[in-house]
Amino acid sequence: MTDWLAAIYPYAKAFHVMAVISWMAGLFYLPRLFVYHAERGQAPEPSGSFAIMEDKLLRLIMNPAMIATWASGLCLVLTPGIVDWSLAWPWTKAACVLAMSWFHMWCARQRRLLGAGQGHPGRRYRLMNEVPTLLMMGIVLSVIVKF
């Protein structure tokens, strides 16, 4: 029944890496756009430009990349013999991926708030911009070191 997962494993893994790179690029850049929007978005034109960039980045790149990351990642973990669930690393990675997904949703909410003129100060977005880096470090260390 799961033989097809083993057959497509290298392709699913390659697709997963590509999807993760796309998703992470958006997660690194969107909070930076929020900083610019919050700090320089007082005038009507820049704020409108930031809103358009934020919307397109989220809708056209980040959302499809997150879905592709999850779909391909589930194919990988469901392939028999790939993940040893008795070790800590798959659980650590899973926790970080869930946190990354929460951060994605937080970003989507912030985009709506900024669009309504109710966002946070730029400093808060600067701090939140570090979250995906920390989570990425946890994910990569979990998968590569397999502690």
Mean pLDDT of 7-12: 95
Over 80: is that where the pLDDT of 42 sits?
Answer: no
Residues 76 and 12 sit within 8 Å (Cβ to Cβ): yes
**35 membership: H or E segment, kind and range:** helix 3-40
117 pLDDT tier (thresholds 50, 70, 90): confident
Decide if domain 3-145 falls under CATH 1.20.120.
yes
Tell whether pTM > 0.85.
yes
Backbone angles phi, psi at 56, to 5 degrees: -65, -40
Distance from C-alpha of 42 to C-alpha of 46, rounded to nearest angstrom? 8
For the chain, what are the domain ranges? 3-145
Residues 93 and 143 sit within 8 Å (Cβ to Cβ): yes
pLDDT on residue 90? 96
Mean pLDDT of 28-35: 95
Which stretch of 12-16, 44-48, 135-139 has the lowest confidence by average pLDDT? Answer: 44-48
What does the DSSP assignment read for 93-127? Answer: HHHHHHHHHHHHHHHHHHHHHHHTT----HHHHHH
Average pLDDT along the chain: 92
